[in-house]
Amino acid sequence: MIVLPRSWQQQWHGRDYFEVVLGLEGEEYRNMDGRRTFRFEKDGRGYFAKVYTGLGWKRIFKSLLAFKRPPVLTAANEWRAIRRLEELNVDTMTLVGYGEQGSDPAHRQSFIITEELTPTESLEYFCRNWGSDPPPVTLKRALIDKLAQISKQLHDHGVNHRDYYLCHFLLDLTVGRENLCSDNLTLYLIDLHRVQFRRRLPQRWRLKDLAALYFSSMEIGLTRRDLYRFIAIYTGKPLRHALQEHAALWQQIERRSAQLMERYNRKYRPND
């Protein structure tokens, strides 16, 4: 199966489309676990591609014997995730191309191509100095509201991200940084290759996503009132009711995020 824009098919007429895509070159962002992620340009426009070339049975069995999930094997899950987010009206990447070939799951080749999202900035970078240089209160509240609404929409429909950090939200800066407000905020959720889909989201996956989000925002100066604002919107219930009914979940999130921070400090700030 191969899906590509008609104009690309015309330009590559007579060639093996799959081989052409696998041979594309560009600025490489990642190359490991059988997956290569890179940015390239075509006809004056920027795109991102993820190309999967297979892990091999040895790597898969190694993960299984260690009781670990093997890394994602093909681009199919991200293709499906983008389609699902589109159905849920959650802003994400725009699909351009997709392809998959081969029957052996350990050596199956696949790719996914999306449009470059520009001008954008990751929320992790956008919020990095909030602790010492707070943003306008209205902007901070608007971003908290947006994150809570996206989180609620995903989780209420059985979708969890599995890498739900601020760095995987891109803030659209088309209107200019100084003109951002609640009426023009757009957040794109990216890196969807590990997304999971269910009819109903188990509590442990809700916990994992929310703890990751909280961990990645622990050093940007959020107040207790900011957290309460998120909780009220995420649950869709009066704050007092939300805090009482889901008390165990909020406690677990705090413990899990603290563990993530401890692990992060041990790995990246050993001398602090």
Instruction: Supply the residues annotated as catalytic.
Output: 163
Closest CA to 190 of 212, 169, 160: 169
Number of H helices, E strands in the chain: 10, 11
Which letter, b or e, does each residue of 235-257 get, where b requires 16 or more Cβ atoms within 10 Å of its Cβ? beeeeeebeeebeebbebbeebb
Amino acid at 3: V
Dist CA 111 CA 109 (whole Å): 7
CA distances, 14 to each of 10, 11, 97, 102, 241 (Å):
9, 9, 18, 21, 63
CA 115 – CA 41 distance, rounded (Å): 10
* Beta-carbon count within 10 A of 188 CB: 18
Token couple for 203: 């509590």
Inter-residue contact 32 to 51 (CB < 8 Å): no
Amino acid at site 209: D
Q: Are 189 and 168 in contact (CB under 8 A)?
A: yes
At residue 42, the 3 state secondary structure works out as: strand
- Three-class SS state of 65: helix
In sign, the C-alpha dihedral spanning 67, 73, 76, 82 is positive
